[in-house]
Amino acid sequence: MTAPSLETKLCGITLRNPVLAASGTFGYGIEFAELVDLNRLGGILTKGLSREPIAGNPAPRLWTTASGMMNSVGLQNVGVEAFIREKLPQLSRYKVPIFVNVFGYRPEDYVEVVRQLEDAEGVCAYELNVSCPNTDHGGIFFSNDPALLSDLLERVRPVATRPLFVKLSPNVSRIEPLAKAAEVAGADALSLVNTFVSLAIDVNTRMPRIGAGFGGLSGPAIKPIALRLVYEASQAVAIPIIGLGGIANGTDAAEFLIAGATAVQVGTASFIDPRAPLRVAQQLGRFLQRQNVARVSDLVGTLRFPHKQPQCKMKP
């Protein structure tokens, strides 16, 4: 068999492979240029950008757990203006699709960041991080309320000429209503999942291990839950899903594709090995070869249940 093709399409964008570097774990991309051949990546999701620069949360910001990592960086970033002026021109020299992660605390914040990015060259799509409290609505997270999510997207959609990915939170009891709300309000793709809210305690001081109190859990510990959420969302919507959560090797990536993801992202694994997204893509290629699968898209959504599809039913 000839070498399998890893090339795939995501919202009309051609990716040389379906493995992207996840937001917040790969800086603005350029910091990694000396360590990784950026031109060989499937794509880069930038660190989340806000309207104004943000200094971030007090230390400690990271804590390692038994099979994952907790963080509360506090969305530190240079702000959209500085990104467009200083980071994007350097990043645009590479032949790698750039996806800009955007967040805010009011719909106007998202609209303004996207509006400024619209005038910039070298951006393929936006990924909206909606795991933020809406300060106009008593701090309810956009990602937890289908009505708030719809309202946000209905305001951002008319401003964005590029594809809009919506990155959903896993901290919900059911993902389907959120996935559907995003699709109906104009999302072109969903990214699933962001981190899980978590707590680690220092028993000597009886204080949280993370300076800000709670942190977001990521890494291998969350993979099975992320896979379940990707599968459920893929059954609820027709738009593509970008799966992430604990992917550290090619088999992990294959699991997400089989569960229904069109592409995947690698996050925490890049902290251990900056070349992790490239290595995952290479391993995925070898997996396809061993399985006699010609194209990576042939793997997407091929999960087979031995019996009737499992449902979570409450006992009476």
Q: Does 198 bind ligand FMN (CB under 6 A)?
A: no
- Of 6, 44, 75, 156, the one binding ligand FMN (CB under 6 A) is 75
Beta pairing class for 68-71 and 215-218? antiparallel
Transcribe 105-138 into DSSP letters: SSHHHHHHHHHHHHTSSS--EEEEE--SEEGGGT
Complex with ligand FMN: residue 146 or 267, whichever CB lies closer: 267
Pattern 35-64, ligand FMN, x by CB under 6 A: ------------xx----------------
Of 4-12, 21-29, 86-94, 232-240, the segment contacting ligand FMN by CB under 6 A is: 21-29
Pattern 92-111, ligand FMN, x by CB under 6 A: ---------x----------
Q: What is the dihedral sign for C-alpha 286, 287, 290, 296?
A: negative
Q: Which residues of 147-172 are buried (b: 16+ CB within 10 A; e: fewer)?
A: ebbbbbbebbeebbebbbbbbbbbbb
Q: Does 194 bind ligand FMN (CB under 6 A)?
A: yes
Q: Does 72 bind ligand FMN (CB under 6 A)?
A: no
Q: How many residues bind ligand FMN (CB under 6 A)?
A: 25
Beta pairing class for 263-266 and 241-243? parallel
Q: Which of residues 132-171 bind ligand FMN (CB under 6 A)?
A: 167
Distance CA 255, CA 271 (A): 21
- Of 8, 17, 71, 134, the one binding ligand FMN (CB under 6 A) is 71
Edge to edge, the sheet with strand 215-218 lists 62-65, 68-71, 215-218, 196-198
- Of 17, 23, 50, 234, the one binding ligand FMN (CB under 6 A) is 23
Determine the straight-line distance between the first and last CA of the chain, rounded to whole angstroms. 53
Shortest Å distance, C-beta 13 to ligand FMN:
19
Q: Does 247 bind ligand FMN (CB under 6 A)?
A: yes
State CA 227 to chain mean position distance: 13
Complex with ligand FMN: residue 38 or 226, whichever CB lies closer: 226
CA neighbor of 245 nearest in space, from 262, 230, 232, 260? 230
Consecutive H or E run containing 263: strand 263-266
Q: Does 209 bind ligand FMN (CB under 6 A)?
A: no
Of 180-188, 218-226, 232-240, 282-290, the segment contacting ligand FMN by CB under 6 A is: 218-226
Q: Does 222 bind ligand FMN (CB under 6 A)?
A: yes
Q: Which of residues 255-284 bind ligand FMN (CB under 6 A)?
A: 266-268
Relative orientation angle of helices 176-184 and 223-236, to the nearest 10 degrees:
50
Q: Does 200 bind ligand FMN (CB under 6 A)?
A: no
Q: Does 22 bind ligand FMN (CB under 6 A)?
A: yes
Transcribe 279-299 into DSSP letters: HHHHHHHHHHHHTT-SBGGGG
132 is catalytic: yes
CB of 159 within 8 A of CB of 186?
A: no
Which parts of this chain interact with ligand FMN (CB under 6 A)? 22-25, 47-48, 69, 71, 73, 75, 101, 129, 167, 194-195, 218-219, 222, 244-247, 266-268
The residues assigned a catalytic role are 132
